Structure 1
Amino acid sequence: MVYNVMIVDDEPIIRFGLKSSIDWEDKNLHLIGDFSNGKQALEAMERTGHVDILITDIKMPVMDGITLMKKALQVNPKLKVVLVSSYNEFEYVREGLTHGAVDYILKQTLEPEQFSKTIHKCIDKILEEEKVTERLDHAELANKIHERRKTEQSIKRILLRKEPFQASEQRIENLPMPQLLLLGSIKDLDRLQDEFGFLYKNLIIEEIQERFYRETEDGYCFPIGENELIFFLGNTEEPRDTVNKLKQRIEKETALKLVFSYAVVSDPGKLVDGYHHAFLAGEQYFFQSDMVIFPYERGNEMHQKPLGLEEIKAMLHREDSLEKFLEVRFARWKEEDMHPDLIKKEAGNILKVLYWNKVDLGVLMDYISSMDSSETLEELTGLFHEARNECDMFLESESKHPHTDNELLDKALAYIHEHFTQEMTLQHVADHIHISRNYFSILFKRFMDINFIDYVISLRINKAKELLSHTSLKVYEVAGESGFNDVKYFSKLFKKITGHSPGDYRTEHHK
């Protein structure tokens, strides 16, 4: 099937660049035209009929891209919109994503490969929606799914705007009450990305949403943040039992670890409050990581503030020892009276005071960034001690370090290229070159400008391409020979990266 594409930008050179970046016919796409403002594009849509993918600049004369997107989506809610943005337009990008845009691209860093991946993302969403529609038995069910998606978008707009409920939100007004609002947070993201790469999480989230809508007659499920899914269920009796059953079902079907928090919403005008309450409840996991389900309860507010840089310097000057100071601060963090983000900020401030201008600034900030991503207090303190140890070792051995970072990376790359088709983790390679896992992760990203596992996956995908092109191995055999243990994951990932299923790729490239 051929999908219609429209490009809108007031800069001719940008329109030309977008048009020439992709072989549209090769991807079964028909470029029906390019226009210099939203008004022209909207009029062309009315004349030419159906448009599947709209690529539009945000700031344009006559009619801007956000207005165009809103009007076009009113006519065709299934339209996939890609925003073209400049660095200083992120507030508009956020508004566009809130109203249903699929993705955005930056003019200043526009590359054909990245643009092609964005277009493939739109195509994948179209194909996914088509498959869902094909599975419906009759038009009534198709209409129900359509209405459900519209309501989902309305809910999402309200939650992301964090604005009070408006009476004009008719779809939300008709939402049956009460609703059990569940917030499912994906944990162990570092482990997932180390093992499967950054695309795995998105593939699994899409699968969870698809299964939920297939198996649940009433309710809503959609991603709400980088690592969070939100669920609405009409059954508010025995909420903990309901949440536990949903959690078990998802974890049985996926490799994810989910922590759920929940609140009951009794009024459509209280959706934002309910989301906020569920979010607050979920923050208790930072302190109580042995629990996985957190109901909202009043009185969980946190009041302590973190120490600033100057306060830390003054206290360290007064204290008899650094270890005594840290013991006091760690005990204060365990009191659960300081917000997790503020605890992370204080931990970062302590590291800055101890090591600023003593170790490489980039390495120090990478350690602080790792602590900012910690999910529990135990993980944070572990990373803090690891960072201290690494920095102290660096200071002690700086003058007599036996290897340069370049030598270490060369040794690591040689090992990776020799063993990438076997089971391989960040820890395996770090052990091979005799440095810590965390330092190797930082070193690899700084030199290679890509995460370790994504580099390994690129090697494995290229190996799979070679085997598909030059052998008659079955797909599951290609997966195994390339380093993938799960053929289903291999097939999904291969298509996500290349735009083709393994079978289609072989058909086109086999020699």
Structure 2
Amino acid sequence: MRALIVDDEPMQIQGLLRHIGWKALGYEEPLTALSGEEALTILGETPVDVLIADVSMPGMTGIELLARCRADYPTLQSLQTVMISGYDEFEFVQEAIHLGAKAYVLKPIKTEELEMKLAVFREVVEKKKQIEQETTVLREKVTESYEVLQERFVKDMVEGWIHSDELLESWRRLLDLPNGEWQATLFLFGYDRRFLDNPHDAKDRILLSEGLLNCVKTGLSGFSGTYIGKTGADELAVIVLNATPLVRARLEKQLAFIQDILREQYKASVSVGISRECLFWTEIPLLYKEVRHMMTGARLAGYGQILYFDRNLMNEYHDFRLREEYIPEIVKLLDRGESDKASAYFNHAFEVLLAREPVSFSYVQAFGMGLLSELARKLKRIHEKDSEMNILMWQRLIDCTGVDEVRKVVLEYLAQYAKLNQREQVAQQHNLIQRVARQLEEHLHENMTVKQLAEQFHLNHSYLSVLFKKEMGRTISDFVQEARMNKAKELLRDPNIKVYEVAEQVGFQTAAYFAFLFKKTTGTTPQEFRDYHY
């Protein structure tokens, strides 16, 4: 560990060098600098773990030094920093903490206090290095473990996390997957009832989960092109690639054997769902959803089944998906302001409808009506002209005679809904931020944090910060600072209010920091401002 001490007083530096037990704390002899400029030169040339800087120095202050480190030196973002300050400079330290300082000590410096902070810093840095080393070891282990990779591949594939050709190619290299397009089938194994005997026993849960994995691996050993992975505590998926009809028939014969073993060894009933075949890897997440839906419905009739997915079940699943997935997703996208994605998703759903054999115009029309009804219900404030729009669009949909007309009418409604919804959201956000701004202006003296403000308005603090800047054109801290300066100018016009009282009323703990910030903002001190006007 190496520290850098920055102070314009050589005696202060010598005192720290002499009285701190650097070697016992695990530090080398510290580097020293008498100015911020000299410190930047050292930091640019030599690795440093801890920075100890005086707040008040001529030329570049400790705060300005820290700001330069954060802005101009990416490698110093994790630099552990202690600021040294006098009691009257505490407000300056607050600004330093906002810039990333980890601690501060007051003058006169207590050796034990600084040594305690240095020990903590050393522990933090060592833990970071340990995590980095463990991450490197984990990467090596994962690369070496084919089974871990295979399980992660199956889970990512069925859940749709593999979403690009480039990502798939990296999986091809890791697992030596077949090149080209795949003829894929998915087998899904699932316990019919979770952990029958001891549902709250962690050991039994692990035993059943691992037992399912081991039985399936044993039963399907020797079959090439099979990739096995857990998709839940009581569920497991097998992706089978490019299997010939003969291989698939042999594989299916093993399913009853796996069910028997699990029944004998774990007294557990397992159902198996077998998907249709697909020719594109992007369809595998859909296979998984189809089979899960099939198995959920089939369990109502009994447990321990082997189920085959067919076209009738596909139509049934697509009907379910249109109701339970497509319409809610379109509404969600519109409510998030992503109208282009909503239109694209609607077109995708529409193509799914047209893929049915035979195509039912009445069903297509009913889907459009269902979507329009949901959107009309979602409008939070329906003015008279908006109600007329809903009635008009509904009538146009009823009058349609072809599927292309239905598509056109619904897309027009989506566009109009998006405009109304955006107008609604803008109005709500405007009113909300105006309320937040009034709250800040009325409580300048309280030093309210963004987190406290967000909790008061039931918002995430990051989201509030983004909304505020979008609406007001500046950050919350900049707004508060400007409001404080404006309020201070107003109070300074009254000669009966002392400067330190003005500082307190606008939220500053010390008159010194108020005077510093007032001059930085206005170009004059508070007293000069008052003298100029009166």
Q: Same fold (TM over 0.5)?
A: no
| TM-score, length basis structure 1 | 0.32
| TM-score, length basis structure 2 | 0.31
